[in-house]
Amino acid sequence: MFELVFLGTSASAPSIQRGLSSAIVMANEHRFMIDCGEGTQRQILRSGLGFRRLDRILLTHGHLDHILGLGGLASTLGRWEALEELNIYGGASTLQRVHALMEVVFGAGQMPRVGISLNLLEPGLLFEGKQFTLTAFPVKHRGEGCFGFVFEEKTRRPFLADRAEALGIPHGPVRRELAQGHAVTLPDGRQIHPDQVLGEPQRGAKLCFVGDVSHTGPLHKVAEGADLLAVEATYLEADKALARQHGHITAAAAARLARNAGVKHLVLHHVSRRYTVQEILAEAQAIFPDTSVANDFDLFRVTKHKGVSWTNLRRC
């Protein structure tokens, strides 16, 4: 299961209801922040999530509305010594801006006690846990070094309890070994192979996160079959000329991407103050009905079998 929490969902500038771009993906004991707009650390406190295990920050690109909160967050973590390290990932131009920002906050050559590591993003596998992988992929926006991210549970073979019962396999460590793919020898001398009690491989949950983007064509393959696709919707189709001019897409374009990629659920974020949520939803749902518009503090749970569920942390 993946949990996606939106901390800020506004485009370019904050509004009374929406902070600037930031989100957190939680997978097992791991946390990954995606972007860190101005005011993000206060949003973390308001969400109730806190700063624990928040040691990896993924940056979609280097525009200020996506990175300006890093200075304050790093300063807080450094003063509180809440973390031993803070790993920030981004494209080359993004990391240059982040480095300059850190020098403004801490002074040239001065870093806080929490070790800040700036890591160059490249397309491909970024992180692998026991149960999931995190992959970075390039997107087109304005300039080089823009990225999106895919969180995907590893393929697994379900343990078939009825077959185990028929074979007289006792409960406990023996079944656990078989579930992990290891052959076992029973007390009566029989050797049992995993294939005897495991079903066909089943793909796990897939969450695809895209920030600012100007062209959706290259994204169809990477988003294919995602249980949840989160992508910007800065403009409506009536203003698609503006969208092209500023390197963004419309709600309709995001919906077409979701439909053509066979996505299960679409979540729109990075929304402009010029439109109402109802206008954005109407345009997208006319093309792809399973669409939501994210609000700050919305939490989406993504599972393969139960699909996507939603709650808001401030309303719980």
Q: Which residues are annotated as a binding site?
A: 61, 63, 65-66, 141, 212, 270
SS3 for 142? coil
Q: Which residues are annotated as a binding site for Zn(2+)?
A: 61, 63, 65-66, 141, 212, 270
Question: Do 35 and 25 contact (CB within 8 A), yes or no?
Answer: no
- Amino acid identity at 48: G
Q: Where are the alpha helices (DSSP H) in 32-134?
A: 40-47, 64-67, 70-80, 92-106
**Alpha carbons 85 and 117: distance in angstroms, whole number:** 7
C-alpha distances out from residue 18 to 258, 272, 311, Å: 24, 10, 17
Task: Pick the catalytic residue from 65, 227, 296, 298.
Answer: 65
Q: C-alpha angle with apex 136: 135 to 138, nearest 5 degrees?
A: 145
35 is catalytic: no
CA atoms within 13 A on the CB side of 217: 2
Q: Which residues pair with 85 in a beta bridge?
A: 115
**Alpha carbons 281 and 284: distance in angstroms, whole number:** 5
C-alpha distances out from residue 227 to 7, 9, 103, 153, 314, Å: 21, 20, 40, 11, 25
Pair type for strands 22-27 and 30-36: antiparallel
Instruction: List the catalytic residues.
Output: 65
